[in-house]
Structure 1
């Protein structure tokens, strides 16, 4: 009988611990879903949660059914935005392939120094993983680029 009670107590503790781990990021997920613009503090908290979500996972570029490693330039673009939340701006909410995402925009380095550019990372509000990166020039027609992201567990 004691063994059964001990097992039941351990099971309850394990379930509560698992639920707490899942709910750790619930407030930031709710904030990312809200329509009000994110503050710099909101973005910093979101990036902490994104870091936890990305832990142990490797980003890959998705082209239709195929995926590949990010090249050096793509990796630098993505992590330049994710590396420091200071000075970033909220880009709002939108849907990508049926998933709600929140954009975070940063100034980007343009090959043409006289033309401003921005880099935007779109973060899935449910998984907290980056879903898409967009590089956009301030003037149309200069070769805006974008790539979709998937994450795979790393060994």
Structure 2
């Protein structure tokens, strides 16, 4: 019986590893990141009332989302396929990793600041979104 359980466990583990898809994983991560930014953008623009608890909770989710292991989501060999990552990701991985680290650092700084009003929040959010734009400019292929 132990052999059957052990064999089933090994089979399940190898199946999950075999099904791992870094392209799908990074697309899901970026989609989630975009949705989180999308929750805060109307607040930053003054289109929604400022809610410090909601802002902090969303920033904390952004921090969790930013825990990106570049080597896992953009491993060698995942350059080909249906994605918008530029070849620069693989050609200059240290620059890409620095961009990812800068984003994470700015998100963590915003969490630590725990902005209590719109005036404190806007510059923090601006720093975060400027990281998004810079990374997209350097490490993303524009489609269409």
Q: TM-score, normalised by structure 2?
A: 0.35
The structure with the greater share of residues assigned to helix is 2
